[in-house]
Structure 1
């Protein structure tokens, strides 16, 4: 997470006026359903537009285990995504092996540290494709 619950709160309240632009990149809010709790879980994530879809990266800073939001969307791919004031229902999936190289380049162009994160772990860090439902 970037700056956690406070980031989400300010982003949602201001429709992204506060929180969309962050450290030279762009942030959206991904809301998943907790796979155990069933509760909505919102996470600020770096994103990029990719055709009609949006991309995020399940990096967790290069940790060996994936982020909880990724586990949640594996259990239920129906998510909510918010870019500035545009909040919409979407379906999230991991990029296919054929899609991933170009999508990874798109994401590392906006946040070069993703390459460093991948070097830190043996886990293949997925790029997540978010498409409007």
Structure 2
């Protein structure tokens, strides 16, 4: 995303009143544990509810390299998610090939540029499922 730590701070301090609604879509704060540092890392990401879970996309704007937060959750899938004022623990997993088509449609409805990002890389762009624990 195009946000920095200032955006994360304002989102957290205002329970999402500042930062949840962004350019016609919605943003949550995903906190992962650094796979090398062990430190907590918070990232604002476009999200959508999906059944009892939440979805985010590991696009990095179509880069050939996955976002660092995705590498972190692969190493430790126990994460925290903040949606507006609600903060909770979740377990992250990559959508299966069977799940992904419908989940991808859900996410491109939220942010159509995800389809554009697929044309910029040969990397399979994952949809991440965040399930409450």
Which TM bucket (shorter chain)?
Answer: over 0.9
The 1-side partners of 2:4 and 2:132 are apart by 24
Counterpart of 1:31 in structure 2 is 31
Q: CA deviation at 1:48?
A: 0.3
Q: CA deviation at 1:4?
A: 1.2
Counterpart of 1:61 in structure 2 is 61
The 1-side partners of 2:25 and 2:4 are apart by 17
5+ long unaligned stretches in structure 2: none
Alignment of 1:75-94 (within 5 A): 75-94=75-94
**So what's the TM-score if we normalise by structure 2?**
0.99
- Kept in 2, the 8 Å contact 1:2–1:45? The answer is no
The 1-side partners of 2:90 and 2:107 are apart by 20
Counterpart of 1:109 in structure 2 is 109
Q: CA deviation at 1:35?
A: 0.1
Q: CA deviation at 1:73?
A: 0.1
Q: How many residue pairs were aligned?
A: 133
- What's the secondary structure of 2:15's corresponding residue? coil
Once the two structures are superposed, what CA deviation does each residue of 1:80-116 show, in whole Å capped at 9, x if it has no partner?
0000000000000000000000000000001000000
The 1-side partners of 2:78 and 2:90 are apart by 6
**So what's the TM-score if we normalise by structure 1?**
0.99
Q: CA deviation at 1:2?
A: 2.7
Q: CA deviation at 1:25?
A: 0.1
5+ long unaligned stretches in structure 1: none
- What's the secondary structure of 2:9's corresponding residue? helix
